[in-house]
Structure formats: C-alpha cells, structure tokens
Amino acid sequence: MTKLLTGKVALVAGGTRGAGRGTAIQLGAAGATVYVTGRSTRAQRSEMNRPETIEDTAELVSAAGGVGIAVQVDHLVPDEVRELIARIESEQGALHVLVNDIWGTSQVEWNKTVWESDLTAGLHTLRLAVETHAITSHFALPLLIQNPGGLVVEMTDGTDEYNATTYRNSFFYDLAKGAVSRMAFALAHELRSQNTTSVLLTPGWLRSEDMLDSFGVTEQNWRDALTVEPHFAISESPAYVGRAVAALAQDPDVSRWHGKSLSSGELAKIYGFTDLDGSQPDAWRYLVEVQDVGKPADPTGYR
C-alpha cells in the first residue's frame, strides 16, 4: 500500500478491538501515526472483560507500517480526554483524523421493550455510546480543525437509510445508534466552514472478536459458523471498514462525502479495496434484499 498518510496523525477513540482495531491497523498500513485509546490494558480490563488491549492494537499498527501509540483513556471522563488531546498536541503538533468508535458495553438487552429493560443498564449504554463521542469531539476538534483537510468519522451500526425504517432490537441500542447518526449530521453542519470532512460510517455484519467467540470460530475458520447462521456468509472482517477509513483519509477529494452516511461495502466499490479474502461484501444491500425479507441465505452477487 502506498503510504499516503505518512506524517499524518490519527486518533482512534475506542481502538481496543473490533472496528476500532481494524481501523487503527489500516491507518497504520497507510503510514499514519495512530493514537489508540480505550480502557482495556494489559494491566486492567474494562467491563467488557475481554483479553484485547490497546497495547496489542498499537503494536499491530506499528507492525503494519505506521506508528502505534496506546493511551489508556476513559472517554466518559472529560479530564482524561482533555489530557489526551493536550498530549497529542504536545507530541505531534496536529491531529488530522478523528475516528469516534467508542462503545464498549456488554449490557445491551436484546428484544426487550423500554419498560422491560433494566434502566440502569440502558442508560449506561447511552452514556457509553453517545456521551463519549460528544466529550471526545468537544476536546479533539479544536486541534483537528487547525489543519485544513481533516477527517472526522462517526462509527455506527447501520446506514441512515436502514436505521430510519428498521427497529434495531432494543430501545436503548436503537436510540444510541440513532443519536450517533444525528451527531454526525450536527458535526457536518458545524464543520462545514472549517475545511473539515465529517461522515457517518458503518461496517456490515462485523466479525469482531466477540462475534467470532459467540459462534465458537476464529477469523481463519469463520465459515464454520454458517451451519449455525447461514446469513453470516455476508459478514466482514474489521479490516474492511478500516480500509474504508484509510481510503477516505487518503482521498484528496474527501470533502465530496461531507455529511454523508456511508458503508464499508459502498466505499469498497468506489475506492476498489477488498476484505482480507479479496471479496467486497455489501451487507446492507444484502440485509434489505435477502435476509430481512426471509429469503434463503445466499451471498452470491453481494460479496
């Protein structure tokens, strides 16, 4: 890969695992210096209680060809985020890419109404999914807009079009993802005069570490899960959405996407990148045309 991001500085907020890790690695592969933040370190696990750490991600960024820097940050704590941005400014003098990918909760209660849900868990979900993004943008954007041509990516689950007509199986999850979408809209409005591009971006059915574990498979043998869930055939690795972010960050005409809701599958067709297996899964078109209408699982023509 041509390292067009050499000399550029990125912050992947929530880069411990999943889409955040995939994004950090692909930005590193393009030559960027990537600050990877999250709560899980080799010395301390977050409430997710999983083995992935920000140090692991930072090492993968460096191995890919960039410079990975791990910083433990709880993005619900304003002082910690303020200190993070001050450190980036002190060490690098600039910030060119911000990826808001913070999530990190295992408390989502699926298929429950708001009155059946645990209120404490639901409100905690909203704090982790929404408050963290607002706090991070508040502190990071003054540094990012100092250099023309910056990029802000709000990472979510589902395109605006899909989520506008689809209930996402939980009152609080649905609300959280809708709020992230609206934040991207608001940022696009506020950054319009700052020569900074703001987008909403979603992966498809993501083969995150947690998702793979739930099916009892790995990235190497993930197709074994198709006997349990045939529609998993449309799934994608975290590298795929990471390559979408890297493509946007390297595009000199990235401002054409300002204010848009985008997906990894959509951008793959435009920029020409593929997933790790050389395919180009288009999950959101598949969901509408195959899975949600009850057709048999068949990714032919969709990856």
What pLDDT sits at residue 38? 97
Tell me the average confidence (pLDDT) per consecutive run of 10 residues in the chain, 303 residues long. 90 98 98 97 92 97 98 98 98 98 83 94 94 98 97 97 94 95 97 96 97 96 98 98 98 97 98 97 97 97 95
DSSP state of 158: S
How far apart CA 94 and CA 157 sit, in angstroms, is 29
Three-state DSSP class for residue 17 = coil
What pLDDT sits at residue 105? 75
DSSP state of 35: E
Q: Which domains does the chain have, with CATH numbers?
A: 9-204+239-280 (3.40.50.720)
Q: Is the pTM of this model over 0.95?
A: yes
Three-state DSSP class for residue 92 = helix
Give the DSSP H/E element, type plus range, for residue 197. Answer: strand 196-202
What pLDDT sits at residue 1? 56
Residues in Cβ contact with 302 at an 8 Å cutoff, skipping those fewer than 6 apart: 234, 281, 282, 283, 285, 286, 289, 290
The torsion angle over the Cα atoms of residues 281, 282, 288 and 290, rounded to 10 degrees, is: -30
Residues in Cβ contact with 158 at an 8 Å cutoff, skipping those fewer than 6 apart: 166, 168, 177, 202, 284
- Give the Cβ contact number of residue 3 at 10 Å: 15
DSSP state of 189: H
Helices (H) and strands (E) in the chain, counts: 11, 7
| Letter string b/e over residues 165-182, b meaning 16 or more CB atoms within 10 A of that residue's CB | eeebebbbbbbbbbbbbe
- Give the Cβ contact number of residue 259 at 10 Å: 16
Three-state DSSP class for residue 164 = helix
What pLDDT sits at residue 107? 75
